[in-house]
Structure 1
């Protein structure tokens, strides 16, 4: 089988007993960086010396089929440099190939920068979306943020410290300067820091320079004031695109603040009225 193993994102004390046991038992490890994997083995006092193979963004596409096939015969432990493999890290193509080949895939859960930042951000955690690293080019970044401007869920991003100020400024322009956010720096490490404020305030703070691993958490858009007729029309458009009526009503309700049940009933009535009109004209 393939075993995806979450590794510490900073504090080695977060390594689970299952992770240590898996490292001790592994015969083959596919690692994002084999040198980082070797340091992890040493730091955790693991005496085992498994065969290490590189699995990173530049070779995963070519190696996925071969590694998945070999995992059918010998367990393959998969490590990224920090956190859970496949989450903004190598591993997705390998898992997809393993699924296609019928190879079992399991995971050893553990540290996650995404969930840790979300938990300490002080922003809503009931619904969230992980957006990874924003585009580097200003135009592409502006387009990406524009598409997320009305996203009602809390959003989680990764960003490099050198681009943080520009990214926060672009977020303020797209989402609104007063949108609440948090910048989480060096999570679980000695110099862990969580800065909370509006996007404008955080952008001004970041202009002074920021170091370390960065996670940005941004509050979702407030429900837009939309009239009932417009909301029902939106539900019907979603239904016309193939979404089930109940799901469409729930989605529009989350974005507008209208009652999901009332939207459902109104859309159902409107749809039936249209159908009767079409039959009558024939």
Structure 2
């Protein structure tokens, strides 16, 4: 963080103010800070309980197939619509919405107006919801520079592999071993997800053989990961399901089609086939992979 500001525009203020007053107050408060224009065409990362409540409301209203809060995206025209919905909620309807408390509802319309105003003032392209807050930020500030520089998804996957895999260091080795198959023309974001799939490719080995694919899918879709959105979770889940020999059922494919493109799913299947083949032919042992690099290349 290079620039920062704090303004008195919390829920206690916006909850009792009119839309016009909120917009005018926010415009006055932000006017001196020209660096906010650097947010144009970038994302606003929203931290706080009322923002989270708006996201939960959106998930409920849109029947989102994978309602995981962290990294949830709101398009720029959505906050104001959610505020209007929140203003019409009664106690009965609130009880039907997961993770939205009656206490939050009163603050949601004003918060939605403030978020919409912030989007307009900065020119940001969307809002990304954070499930974390001040406590996690404080912990992050106490990490070493080397730890802060780590990719949070890959670091978490390595930890999971260390606790659940037979040979915890094999994920990085498997990634290197498969690189010649994928490296040409591979998108950097896809490469990162493939790395995560390699790290997690052996985490379900303790499960019953008939249900290892389901166990791996559950870990990838619903794991407490950061640095990954719903589409990427689904790609990772499909890869690990296929890695363990599973044929994705219709219900899973229907869910995946709402989050991923056909190309995304084909890429994920290919990761799964390669990881599964590598683990099966070499019993997940690195010395066997080294001996079979030529076979992997010949199979492309």
Larger radius of gyration, structure 1 or 2?
1
Say which structure is richer in strand. 1
TM-score by length of 1: 0.27
Larger RCO (CA within 8 A; separation ≥ 6): 2
TM-score by length of 2: 0.26
Say which structure is richer in helix. 2
